[in-house]
Every structure is written in structure tokens, then in C-alpha cells.
Amino acid sequence: MSETPVKHQNTAAFYGQAVASFSVAMVATAVGIYKLHADAWVRAFLAIAVLYLVTSSFTLAKVIRDRQDVGAERAR
């Protein structure tokens, strides 16, 4: 008997919640940096640090997902 692999897919509500959460976090961080009582170069440094953190988080998530996909293919 062969088993049909189950495809796991996120719901539209989960996707929407993830996008909304990310958007709120980015806006809140941007407003916080903008309202910070510091020199412009300090705010610019923090903004670049946040962008670097976001891009490296996306890269890490993709690498982890790709590794899990390869592991799932080997398990079949």
C-alpha cells in the first residue's frame, strides 16, 4: 500500500496575520527610531541595523526551510 504525502499549506488567515504582524513591527520600529532623541547618524545607524536584521532573518528562514525540504525528500 502506498502512502500519499500530505501537502501542508498555510491558510489565508495565517498568511495575513504574519504579514500584518511583520508590518506592524516594522512601522513601530521605524516610528521609534524616528522619534528617538538622538543625532541623525545614530538614527541612521539603527535604521540600517534593523534592515540588516530583517534581511538576514529572511535569509535564515529560507535556508532553514530549504534544509527541511531536502530532509523531507530524503525521508520519502
**74 pLDDT higher than 80:** no
pLDDT of amino acid 1: 52
The tens digit of pLDDT for each residue in 1-58 reads: 566 666 677 899 999 999 999 999 999 999 999 999 999 999 999 999 999 999 999 9
Q: Which pLDDT value is given to residue 19?
A: 94
Per-residue pLDDT at 75: 72
What is the three-state SS of the chain?
A: CCCCCCCCCCCHHHHHHHHHHHHHHHHHHHHHHHHCCCCHHHHHHHHHHHHHHHHHHHHHHHHHHHHHHHHHHHHC
